[in-house]
Structure 1
Amino acid sequence: MSDEPIRINKYLSQAGFCSRREADKLMEQGRITINGELITMGTKVNPGDKVYVDGKLIEFETEEHVYLAVHKPKGVVCTTNAKVEKNNIVDLVNYPTRIYPVGRLDKMSEGLILMTNDGEIVNKILRARHYHDKEYLVTVDKPITEQFIEKMRNGVPILDTITRKCEVEKLGDRSFKIILTQGLNRQIRRMCEALDYRVRTLKRTRIKNIILDVEKGNYRHLTKEEVKDLYRN
Protein backbone atom coordinates (compact mmCIF):
# COMPACT_ATOMS: atom_id res chain seq x y z
CA MET A 1 0.00 0.00 0.00
CA SER A 2 1.08 3.59 -0.65
CA ASP A 3 2.25 5.75 2.25
CA GLU A 4 -0.63 8.11 1.39
CA PRO A 5 -4.37 7.56 2.06
CA ILE A 6 -6.35 5.94 -0.79
CA ARG A 7 -10.08 5.52 -1.37
CA ILE A 8 -11.62 2.31 -0.12
CA ASN A 9 -12.73 1.19 -3.60
CA LYS A 10 -9.20 1.64 -4.93
CA TYR A 11 -7.80 -0.22 -1.92
CA LEU A 12 -10.04 -3.26 -2.47
CA SER A 13 -9.32 -3.21 -6.19
CA GLN A 14 -5.54 -3.07 -5.73
CA ALA A 15 -5.77 -5.77 -3.07
CA GLY A 16 -7.35 -8.00 -5.72
CA PHE A 17 -10.57 -8.45 -3.77
CA CYS A 18 -13.10 -6.93 -6.18
CA SER A 19 -13.62 -4.18 -8.73
CA ARG A 20 -14.09 -0.56 -7.68
CA ARG A 21 -17.75 -0.69 -8.72
CA GLU A 22 -18.30 -3.80 -6.63
CA ALA A 23 -16.54 -2.13 -3.71
CA ASP A 24 -18.96 0.80 -3.94
CA LYS A 25 -21.90 -1.63 -3.77
CA LEU A 26 -20.40 -3.37 -0.73
CA MET A 27 -20.01 -0.01 0.98
CA GLU A 28 -23.63 0.98 0.22
CA GLN A 29 -24.74 -2.33 1.76
CA GLY A 30 -22.81 -1.57 4.97
CA ARG A 31 -20.55 -4.58 4.58
CA ILE A 32 -17.20 -2.77 4.86
CA THR A 33 -15.57 -1.57 8.07
CA ILE A 34 -12.24 0.11 8.79
CA ASN A 35 -10.83 -0.51 12.25
CA GLY A 36 -14.25 -1.79 13.32
CA GLU A 37 -16.19 1.28 12.15
CA LEU A 38 -18.70 1.43 9.30
CA ILE A 39 -17.63 3.77 6.49
CA THR A 40 -19.26 6.19 4.07
CA MET A 41 -18.69 7.08 0.43
CA GLY A 42 -15.30 8.72 -0.09
CA THR A 43 -13.73 7.20 3.02
CA LYS A 44 -9.99 6.69 2.63
CA VAL A 45 -7.70 4.00 3.98
CA ASN A 46 -4.61 5.18 5.84
CA PRO A 47 -1.40 3.17 6.31
CA GLY A 48 -1.92 0.75 9.19
CA ASP A 49 -5.73 0.68 8.91
CA LYS A 50 -7.51 -2.70 9.11
CA VAL A 51 -10.10 -3.19 6.37
CA TYR A 52 -12.82 -5.84 6.75
CA VAL A 53 -15.52 -7.06 4.37
CA ASP A 54 -18.25 -9.11 6.04
CA GLY A 55 -15.92 -9.41 9.03
CA LYS A 56 -13.03 -10.80 6.96
CA LEU A 57 -9.71 -8.94 7.06
CA ILE A 58 -8.58 -7.89 3.59
CA GLU A 59 -4.81 -8.03 3.47
CA PHE A 60 -3.08 -5.68 1.08
CA GLU A 61 -0.24 -7.41 -0.69
CA THR A 62 2.79 -5.43 0.38
CA GLU A 63 5.44 -4.37 -2.09
CA GLU A 64 9.00 -5.51 -1.68
CA HIS A 65 10.87 -3.28 0.73
CA VAL A 66 13.69 -1.13 -0.60
CA TYR A 67 16.53 0.23 1.55
CA LEU A 68 19.06 2.64 0.04
CA ALA A 69 22.10 4.50 1.33
CA VAL A 70 22.28 7.75 -0.66
CA HIS A 71 25.06 10.34 -0.80
CA LYS A 72 23.10 13.60 -0.90
CA PRO A 73 25.00 16.50 -2.47
CA LYS A 74 24.85 20.02 -1.10
CA GLY A 75 21.90 21.92 -2.55
CA VAL A 76 19.50 18.96 -2.71
CA VAL A 77 16.40 19.09 -0.49
CA CYS A 78 15.11 16.06 1.42
CA THR A 79 11.50 16.28 0.30
CA THR A 80 9.19 14.13 -1.81
CA ASN A 81 7.24 17.16 -3.05
CA ALA A 82 8.65 17.96 -6.47
CA LYS A 83 6.07 20.72 -6.95
CA VAL A 84 7.54 22.67 -4.03
CA GLU A 85 11.21 21.89 -4.58
CA LYS A 86 12.58 20.97 -8.00
CA ASN A 87 16.04 20.00 -6.71
CA ASN A 88 14.80 17.20 -4.44
CA ILE A 89 16.21 13.88 -3.23
CA VAL A 90 13.54 11.75 -4.93
CA ASP A 91 14.32 13.13 -8.37
CA LEU A 92 18.06 12.86 -7.69
CA VAL A 93 17.83 9.13 -6.92
CA ASN A 94 15.14 8.51 -9.58
CA TYR A 95 14.35 5.06 -8.21
CA PRO A 96 11.75 3.06 -10.20
CA THR A 97 9.41 2.59 -7.20
CA ARG A 98 8.20 5.16 -4.69
CA ILE A 99 10.62 5.66 -1.79
CA TYR A 100 11.11 8.48 0.68
CA PRO A 101 13.94 9.83 2.86
CA VAL A 102 14.32 8.77 6.49
CA GLY A 103 14.52 12.03 8.41
CA ARG A 104 16.28 14.97 6.84
CA LEU A 105 19.63 16.49 6.02
CA ASP A 106 19.42 20.22 5.44
CA LYS A 107 19.88 21.71 1.98
CA MET A 108 23.36 23.13 2.59
CA SER A 109 24.69 19.87 4.06
CA GLU A 110 25.83 16.74 2.25
CA GLY A 111 26.28 13.11 3.13
CA LEU A 112 24.38 10.00 4.08
CA ILE A 113 20.61 9.85 3.90
CA LEU A 114 18.63 6.61 4.01
CA MET A 115 15.67 6.09 1.68
CA THR A 116 13.06 3.37 1.88
CA ASN A 117 9.41 2.39 1.43
CA ASP A 118 9.36 0.62 4.81
CA GLY A 119 7.38 2.74 7.26
CA GLU A 120 8.28 0.55 10.23
CA ILE A 121 12.01 1.14 9.86
CA VAL A 122 11.38 4.88 9.51
CA ASN A 123 9.61 4.93 12.88
CA LYS A 124 12.35 2.92 14.59
CA ILE A 125 15.10 5.22 13.35
CA LEU A 126 13.30 8.48 14.05
CA ARG A 127 12.01 7.67 17.54
CA ALA A 128 14.18 9.74 19.86
CA ARG A 129 14.29 7.08 22.58
CA HIS A 130 16.29 4.73 20.37
CA TYR A 131 19.36 7.00 20.49
CA HIS A 132 20.79 5.92 17.14
CA ASP A 133 24.27 7.31 16.41
CA LYS A 134 24.68 9.79 13.56
CA GLU A 135 28.22 10.88 12.76
CA TYR A 136 29.23 14.14 11.04
CA LEU A 137 32.38 15.89 9.84
CA VAL A 138 32.18 19.66 10.29
CA THR A 139 34.33 22.66 9.41
CA VAL A 140 33.75 26.10 10.94
CA ASP A 141 34.75 29.70 10.27
CA LYS A 142 37.45 30.18 12.92
CA PRO A 143 39.91 28.20 15.05
CA ILE A 144 38.38 25.66 17.41
CA THR A 145 39.17 25.98 21.11
CA GLU A 146 39.08 23.32 23.83
CA GLN A 147 36.30 25.30 25.46
CA PHE A 148 34.22 24.98 22.28
CA ILE A 149 34.78 21.21 22.20
CA GLU A 150 33.81 20.79 25.86
CA LYS A 151 30.64 22.84 25.50
CA MET A 152 29.61 20.90 22.39
CA ARG A 153 30.19 17.63 24.27
CA ASN A 154 28.24 18.56 27.38
CA GLY A 155 25.18 20.21 25.85
CA VAL A 156 24.30 23.52 24.25
CA PRO A 157 21.04 25.42 24.85
CA ILE A 158 19.06 25.62 21.59
CA LEU A 159 15.37 25.45 20.68
CA ASP A 160 14.24 25.75 24.31
CA THR A 161 16.23 22.70 25.40
CA ILE A 162 19.79 21.60 26.09
CA THR A 163 21.27 19.18 23.59
CA ARG A 164 22.04 15.67 24.72
CA LYS A 165 25.66 14.95 25.67
CA CYS A 166 27.61 13.68 22.67
CA GLU A 167 31.02 12.67 21.38
CA VAL A 168 33.10 15.45 19.81
CA GLU A 169 36.66 15.13 18.52
CA LYS A 170 38.82 17.94 17.17
CA LEU A 171 40.37 16.94 13.83
CA GLY A 172 42.09 20.12 12.72
CA ASP A 173 42.36 23.83 13.41
CA ARG A 174 38.82 24.42 12.12
CA SER A 175 37.36 20.90 11.79
CA PHE A 176 35.81 18.36 14.14
CA LYS A 177 33.86 15.11 14.23
CA ILE A 178 30.60 14.89 16.18
CA ILE A 179 28.36 11.89 16.95
CA LEU A 180 24.77 12.79 17.83
CA THR A 181 22.03 10.61 19.27
CA GLN A 182 19.21 13.06 18.64
CA GLY A 183 17.92 14.93 15.63
CA LEU A 184 16.86 18.47 16.41
CA ASN A 185 16.25 20.75 13.44
CA ARG A 186 19.60 22.01 12.06
CA GLN A 187 21.10 20.89 15.36
CA ILE A 188 24.83 21.15 14.64
CA ARG A 189 24.49 24.51 12.93
CA ARG A 190 22.43 25.87 15.83
CA MET A 191 24.88 24.48 18.42
CA CYS A 192 27.80 26.16 16.67
CA GLU A 193 25.93 29.44 16.26
CA ALA A 194 25.07 29.44 19.98
CA LEU A 195 28.84 29.34 20.64
CA ASP A 196 29.54 32.12 18.08
CA TYR A 197 30.81 29.80 15.32
CA ARG A 198 29.46 29.40 11.80
CA VAL A 199 29.43 26.09 9.95
CA ARG A 200 31.24 26.19 6.60
CA THR A 201 30.80 22.54 5.60
CA LEU A 202 28.79 19.72 7.14
CA LYS A 203 28.88 16.10 6.00
CA ARG A 204 27.06 13.13 7.54
CA THR A 205 29.25 10.04 7.29
CA ARG A 206 27.32 7.43 9.29
CA ILE A 207 23.84 6.53 10.55
CA LYS A 208 24.04 3.78 13.19
CA ASN A 209 25.77 0.92 11.33
CA ILE A 210 25.53 2.42 7.83
CA ILE A 211 28.71 4.04 6.54
CA LEU A 212 28.80 6.59 3.73
CA ASP A 213 30.75 4.70 1.06
CA VAL A 214 29.29 5.84 -2.27
CA GLU A 215 30.19 8.79 -4.49
CA LYS A 216 28.27 12.04 -4.25
CA GLY A 217 24.88 11.78 -5.99
CA ASN A 218 24.95 7.96 -6.03
CA TYR A 219 23.32 5.27 -3.92
CA ARG A 220 23.62 1.60 -3.01
CA HIS A 221 21.25 -0.99 -1.55
CA LEU A 222 21.74 -1.89 2.10
CA THR A 223 22.90 -5.41 2.85
CA LYS A 224 20.65 -7.84 4.73
CA GLU A 225 22.89 -7.53 7.79
CA GLU A 226 22.68 -3.74 7.71
CA VAL A 227 18.87 -3.89 7.57
CA LYS A 228 18.76 -6.40 10.44
CA ASP A 229 20.92 -4.14 12.54
CA LEU A 230 18.70 -1.14 11.84
CA TYR A 231 15.77 -3.10 13.30
CA ARG A 232 17.66 -3.68 16.55
CA ASN A 233 17.01 -1.05 19.21
Structure 2
Amino acid sequence: MRVNKLISDSGVCSRREADALIAQRRVTIDGAVAAIGAVATMDAVVCVDGVALRPRAARGAAARRHVYIALNKPVGITCTTEHAVKDNIVDFIDHAERIFPIGRLDKDSEGLILLTSNGDIVNEILRAENAHEKEYLVGVNRPVTAQFLTGMARGVRVHGQMTRPCKTRRIAKFGFAIVLTQGLNRQIRLMAEAFDYRVTQLRRVRIVNIRLGALRVGQWRNLTDAELHGLLPQRTSW
Protein backbone atom coordinates (compact mmCIF):
# COMPACT_ATOMS: atom_id res chain seq x y z
CA MET A 1 0.00 0.00 0.00
CA ARG A 2 1.22 3.54 -0.72
CA VAL A 3 2.66 5.21 2.35
CA ASN A 4 0.50 8.33 2.01
CA LYS A 5 -2.61 6.13 2.23
CA LEU A 6 -1.24 4.28 5.25
CA ILE A 7 -0.68 7.60 6.98
CA SER A 8 -4.16 8.81 6.04
CA ASP A 9 -5.76 5.55 7.19
CA SER A 10 -4.06 5.95 10.56
CA GLY A 11 -5.89 9.26 11.07
CA VAL A 12 -2.78 11.47 11.20
CA CYS A 13 -3.76 13.64 8.23
CA SER A 14 -5.09 13.57 4.67
CA ARG A 15 -3.19 11.92 1.83
CA ARG A 16 -2.30 15.35 0.47
CA GLU A 17 -0.81 16.37 3.80
CA ALA A 18 0.96 12.99 4.03
CA ASP A 19 2.69 13.71 0.71
CA ALA A 20 3.95 16.98 2.21
CA LEU A 21 5.34 15.12 5.25
CA ILE A 22 7.09 12.65 2.95
CA ALA A 23 8.58 15.48 0.88
CA GLN A 24 9.90 17.01 4.12
CA ARG A 25 11.68 13.69 4.88
CA ARG A 26 9.65 13.27 8.07
CA VAL A 27 8.42 9.77 7.19
CA THR A 28 10.40 6.54 7.46
CA ILE A 29 9.71 2.93 6.47
CA ASP A 30 11.56 0.41 8.63
CA GLY A 31 14.03 3.15 9.52
CA ALA A 32 14.71 4.38 5.97
CA VAL A 33 13.48 7.79 4.78
CA ALA A 34 10.44 7.32 2.53
CA ALA A 35 10.22 8.77 -0.96
CA ILE A 36 7.15 10.23 -2.67
CA GLY A 37 5.07 7.35 -4.02
CA ALA A 38 6.77 4.81 -1.75
CA VAL A 39 4.95 1.58 -0.99
CA ALA A 40 5.04 -0.27 2.33
CA THR A 41 3.87 -3.72 3.32
CA MET A 42 1.23 -3.99 6.03
CA ASP A 43 3.78 -5.30 8.53
CA ALA A 44 6.31 -2.51 7.85
CA VAL A 45 7.02 0.01 10.60
CA VAL A 46 6.05 3.42 9.25
CA CYS A 47 6.96 6.43 11.40
CA VAL A 48 6.08 10.10 11.20
CA ASP A 49 8.55 12.31 13.05
CA GLY A 50 9.89 9.17 14.70
CA VAL A 51 6.50 8.03 16.02
CA ALA A 52 5.16 4.74 14.66
CA LEU A 53 1.71 4.80 13.09
CA ARG A 54 -1.10 3.10 14.94
CA PRO A 55 -4.14 1.60 13.21
CA ARG A 56 -6.90 4.17 12.99
CA ALA A 57 -9.75 1.73 13.55
CA ALA A 58 -10.60 0.40 16.96
CA ARG A 59 -11.62 -3.23 17.31
CA GLY A 60 -15.29 -2.51 16.78
CA ALA A 61 -14.71 0.08 14.06
CA ALA A 62 -13.36 -2.40 11.54
CA ALA A 63 -16.74 -4.11 11.30
CA ARG A 64 -18.79 -0.92 10.92
CA ARG A 65 -20.87 -0.38 7.82
CA HIS A 66 -20.23 3.38 7.85
CA VAL A 67 -17.49 5.87 8.60
CA TYR A 68 -17.90 8.25 11.56
CA ILE A 69 -15.08 10.72 12.15
CA ALA A 70 -14.28 13.81 14.20
CA LEU A 71 -12.27 16.62 12.64
CA ASN A 72 -10.63 19.63 14.27
CA LYS A 73 -11.60 22.03 11.47
CA PRO A 74 -9.21 24.90 10.78
CA VAL A 75 -10.39 28.43 10.06
CA GLY A 76 -10.87 28.89 6.30
CA ILE A 77 -12.36 25.47 5.56
CA THR A 78 -15.96 25.53 4.29
CA CYS A 79 -18.40 22.85 5.47
CA THR A 80 -19.77 21.79 2.08
CA THR A 81 -19.60 18.71 -0.11
CA GLU A 82 -19.41 20.89 -3.24
CA HIS A 83 -16.02 20.22 -4.80
CA ALA A 84 -16.30 23.46 -6.80
CA VAL A 85 -16.05 25.45 -3.56
CA LYS A 86 -12.43 26.28 -2.73
CA ASP A 87 -11.16 24.75 0.53
CA ASN A 88 -14.24 22.56 0.98
CA ILE A 89 -14.19 20.16 3.91
CA VAL A 90 -14.50 16.97 1.84
CA ASP A 91 -11.40 17.67 -0.26
CA PHE A 92 -9.56 18.82 2.87
CA ILE A 93 -10.06 15.45 4.58
CA ASP A 94 -9.58 13.51 1.33
CA HIS A 95 -11.22 10.37 2.71
CA ALA A 96 -11.40 7.21 0.60
CA GLU A 97 -15.17 7.01 1.15
CA ARG A 98 -17.83 9.58 0.34
CA ILE A 99 -18.52 11.50 3.55
CA PHE A 100 -20.86 14.29 4.65
CA PRO A 101 -20.47 16.89 7.42
CA ILE A 102 -23.03 16.55 10.21
CA GLY A 103 -24.19 20.12 10.57
CA ARG A 104 -21.87 23.02 9.91
CA LEU A 105 -19.20 25.22 11.42
CA ASP A 106 -18.68 28.68 9.95
CA LYS A 107 -15.70 29.22 7.65
CA ASP A 108 -14.32 31.73 10.17
CA SER A 109 -14.73 29.29 13.06
CA GLU A 110 -12.66 26.28 14.10
CA GLY A 111 -12.95 23.16 16.17
CA LEU A 112 -14.96 19.98 16.35
CA ILE A 113 -17.15 18.84 13.48
CA LEU A 114 -18.39 15.32 12.76
CA LEU A 115 -18.57 13.68 9.35
CA THR A 116 -20.01 10.37 8.21
CA SER A 117 -20.60 8.19 5.17
CA ASN A 118 -24.07 7.42 6.55
CA GLY A 119 -26.16 10.12 4.87
CA ASP A 120 -29.38 8.64 6.25
CA ILE A 121 -28.45 9.50 9.83
CA VAL A 122 -27.41 13.14 9.36
CA ASN A 123 -30.88 14.70 9.60
CA GLU A 124 -31.81 12.49 12.55
CA ILE A 125 -28.78 13.65 14.52
CA LEU A 126 -29.50 17.29 13.68
CA ARG A 127 -33.23 17.14 14.44
CA ALA A 128 -34.06 20.18 16.58
CA GLU A 129 -36.19 18.35 19.13
CA ASN A 130 -33.22 16.16 20.08
CA ALA A 131 -31.62 19.30 21.59
CA HIS A 132 -28.08 17.95 21.35
CA GLU A 133 -25.62 20.08 23.30
CA LYS A 134 -22.76 21.81 21.50
CA GLU A 135 -20.12 23.66 23.52
CA TYR A 136 -17.99 26.56 22.25
CA LEU A 137 -15.13 28.67 23.57
CA VAL A 138 -15.46 32.25 22.37
CA GLY A 139 -13.09 35.22 22.30
CA VAL A 140 -14.57 38.71 22.08
CA ASN A 141 -13.28 42.27 21.69
CA ARG A 142 -14.56 43.59 25.04
CA PRO A 143 -14.35 42.42 28.65
CA VAL A 144 -16.95 39.76 29.44
CA THR A 145 -19.45 40.96 32.05
CA ALA A 146 -22.05 39.17 34.15
CA GLN A 147 -24.76 41.20 32.42
CA PHE A 148 -23.56 40.05 29.00
CA LEU A 149 -23.47 36.38 30.05
CA THR A 150 -26.93 36.58 31.61
CA GLY A 151 -28.37 38.20 28.49
CA MET A 152 -26.82 35.59 26.22
CA ALA A 153 -28.12 32.77 28.44
CA ARG A 154 -31.69 34.12 28.46
CA GLY A 155 -31.92 34.27 24.67
CA VAL A 156 -31.48 36.78 21.87
CA ARG A 157 -33.57 37.57 18.79
CA VAL A 158 -31.71 36.11 15.80
CA HIS A 159 -33.11 35.63 12.30
CA GLY A 160 -36.51 36.81 13.54
CA GLN A 161 -36.75 34.31 16.42
CA MET A 162 -35.60 34.09 20.03
CA THR A 163 -32.76 31.72 20.66
CA ARG A 164 -33.28 28.98 23.22
CA PRO A 165 -32.02 29.56 26.77
CA CYS A 166 -28.44 28.32 27.02
CA LYS A 167 -25.56 27.94 29.45
CA THR A 168 -22.73 30.49 29.66
CA ARG A 169 -19.69 30.98 31.85
CA ARG A 170 -16.74 33.37 31.92
CA ILE A 171 -13.36 31.77 31.19
CA ALA A 172 -11.16 34.86 30.74
CA LYS A 173 -11.34 38.63 30.66
CA PHE A 174 -12.15 38.53 26.95
CA GLY A 175 -13.48 34.98 26.74
CA PHE A 176 -16.48 32.86 27.64
CA ALA A 177 -17.90 29.39 27.10
CA ILE A 178 -21.40 28.78 25.78
CA VAL A 179 -23.45 25.58 25.41
CA LEU A 180 -26.19 25.66 22.76
CA THR A 181 -28.93 23.17 21.91
CA GLN A 182 -29.68 24.64 18.48
CA GLY A 183 -27.64 25.61 15.46
CA LEU A 184 -28.86 28.76 13.75
CA ASN A 185 -26.61 30.26 11.08
CA ARG A 186 -23.81 32.32 12.72
CA GLN A 187 -25.81 32.14 15.94
CA ILE A 188 -23.12 32.99 18.50
CA ARG A 189 -21.72 35.86 16.44
CA LEU A 190 -25.17 37.39 15.98
CA MET A 191 -26.07 36.88 19.64
CA ALA A 192 -22.90 38.68 20.71
CA GLU A 193 -23.56 41.52 18.25
CA ALA A 194 -26.89 42.16 19.98
CA PHE A 195 -24.85 43.26 23.03
CA ASP A 196 -22.30 45.23 20.95
CA TYR A 197 -19.66 42.50 21.22
CA ARG A 198 -17.64 41.24 18.28
CA VAL A 199 -16.44 37.63 18.20
CA THR A 200 -12.71 37.44 17.50
CA GLN A 201 -12.29 33.67 17.88
CA LEU A 202 -14.76 30.81 18.03
CA ARG A 203 -13.88 27.17 18.67
CA ARG A 204 -16.32 24.28 19.13
CA VAL A 205 -14.96 21.85 21.72
CA ARG A 206 -17.84 19.42 22.31
CA ILE A 207 -20.81 17.85 20.53
CA VAL A 208 -23.00 15.86 22.97
CA ASN A 209 -20.53 13.34 24.48
CA ILE A 210 -17.76 13.86 21.91
CA ARG A 211 -14.95 16.21 22.90
CA LEU A 212 -12.25 17.87 20.82
CA GLY A 213 -9.64 16.93 23.40
CA ALA A 214 -6.05 16.87 22.16
CA LEU A 215 -6.96 16.51 18.48
CA ARG A 216 -4.72 18.96 16.65
CA VAL A 217 -6.02 21.51 14.15
CA GLY A 218 -6.46 19.78 10.78
CA GLN A 219 -6.37 16.28 12.27
CA TRP A 220 -9.25 13.80 12.26
CA ARG A 221 -9.94 10.46 13.93
CA ASN A 222 -12.56 7.72 14.00
CA LEU A 223 -15.20 7.97 16.68
CA THR A 224 -14.97 5.30 19.37
CA ASP A 225 -17.72 2.79 20.07
CA ALA A 226 -18.55 4.61 23.32
CA GLU A 227 -18.89 7.92 21.47
CA LEU A 228 -21.20 6.37 18.88
CA HIS A 229 -23.38 4.82 21.60
CA GLY A 230 -23.87 8.28 23.09
CA LEU A 231 -24.51 10.01 19.77
CA LEU A 232 -26.60 7.68 17.63
CA PRO A 233 -30.11 6.35 18.22
CA GLN A 234 -29.85 2.84 19.62
CA ARG A 235 -31.64 1.34 16.65
CA THR A 236 -29.00 2.67 14.24
CA SER A 237 -26.86 0.10 12.44
CA TRP A 238 -23.27 1.24 12.37
What's the TM-score once normalised by structure 1's chain length? 0.71
Please give the alpha-carbon distance, in whole angstroms, between the structure 2 residues aligned to 1:89 and 1:223. 21
Does structure 1 residue 95 correspond to structure 2 residue 95? Answer: yes
| Unaligned residue ranges in structure 1 (runs of 5+) | 1-62
Q: Which residue of 2 aligns with 1:25?
A: none
Which residue type is aligned with residue 108 of structure 2? M
Give, in angstroms, the shift of residue 124 of structure 1. Answer: 2.2
Q: Which residue of 1 aligns with 2:161?
A: 161
Please give the alpha-carbon distance, in whole angstroms, between the structure 2 residues aligned to 1:151 and 1:99. 38
After TM superposition, the structure 1 = structure 2 runs for residues 61-140 of structure 1, keeping only pairs within 5 Å, are 64-83=65-84, 85-140=85-140
Please give the alpha-carbon distance, in whole angstroms, between the structure 2 residues aligned to 1:126 and 1:89. 18
Asked whether the equivalents of residues 70 and 112 of structure 2 are also in contact (C-alpha less than 8 Å), the reply is: yes
Which residue type is aligned with residue 162 of structure 1? M
Please give the alpha-carbon distance, in whole angstroms, between the structure 2 residues aligned to 1:94 and 1:119. 17
Percent identity reads: 51
Please give the alpha-carbon distance, in whole angstroms, between the structure 2 residues aligned to 1:183 and 1:170. 21
Please give the alpha-carbon distance, in whole angstroms, between the structure 2 residues aligned to 1:81 and 1:96. 16
After TM superposition, the structure 1 = structure 2 runs for residues 121-200 of structure 1, keeping only pairs within 5 Å, are 121-200=121-200
| Unaligned residue ranges in structure 2 (runs of 5+) | 1-63
Give, in angstroms, the shift of residue 172 of structure 1. Answer: 1.0
Please give the alpha-carbon distance, in whole angstroms, between the structure 2 residues aligned to 1:155 and 1:143. 20
Q: Note the alpha carbon deviations across 1:179-211, whole angstroms, 9 max, x for none.
A: 000000110001001111000000000000111
Asked whether the equivalents of residues 100 and 119 of structure 2 are also in contact (C-alpha less than 8 Å), the reply is: no
| Structure index of larger Rg | 1
Please give the alpha-carbon distance, in whole angstroms, between the structure 1 residues aligned to 2:211 and 2:101. 16
Secondary structure of 2:112 counterpart: strand
Give, in angstroms, the shift of residue 66 of structure 1. Answer: 0.3
Which residue type is aligned with residue 230 of structure 2? D
The aligned length equals: 170
Which residue type is aligned with residue 117 of structure 1? S
Does structure 1 residue 221 correspond to structure 2 residue 222? Answer: yes
Asked whether the equivalents of residues 121 and 230 of structure 1 are also in contact (C-alpha less than 8 Å), the reply is: no
Please give the alpha-carbon distance, in whole angstroms, between the structure 1 residues aligned to 2:208 and 2:125. 9
Please give the alpha-carbon distance, in whole angstroms, between the structure 2 residues aligned to 1:219 and 1:179. 23
Q: Note the alpha carbon deviations across 1:107-133, whole angstroms, 9 max, x for none.
A: 000000000011233122210000000
Which residue type is aligned with residue 199 of structure 1? V
Which residue type is aligned with residue 95 of structure 1? H
Please give the alpha-carbon distance, in whole angstroms, between the structure 1 residues aligned to 2:125 and 2:189. 21
Asked whether the equivalents of residues 144 and 175 of structure 2 are also in contact (C-alpha less than 8 Å), the reply is: yes
Please give the alpha-carbon distance, in whole angstroms, between the structure 2 residues aligned to 1:225 and 1:172. 32
Which residue type is aligned with residue 191 of structure 1? M
Give, in angstroms, the shift of residue 227 of structure 1. Answer: 1.0
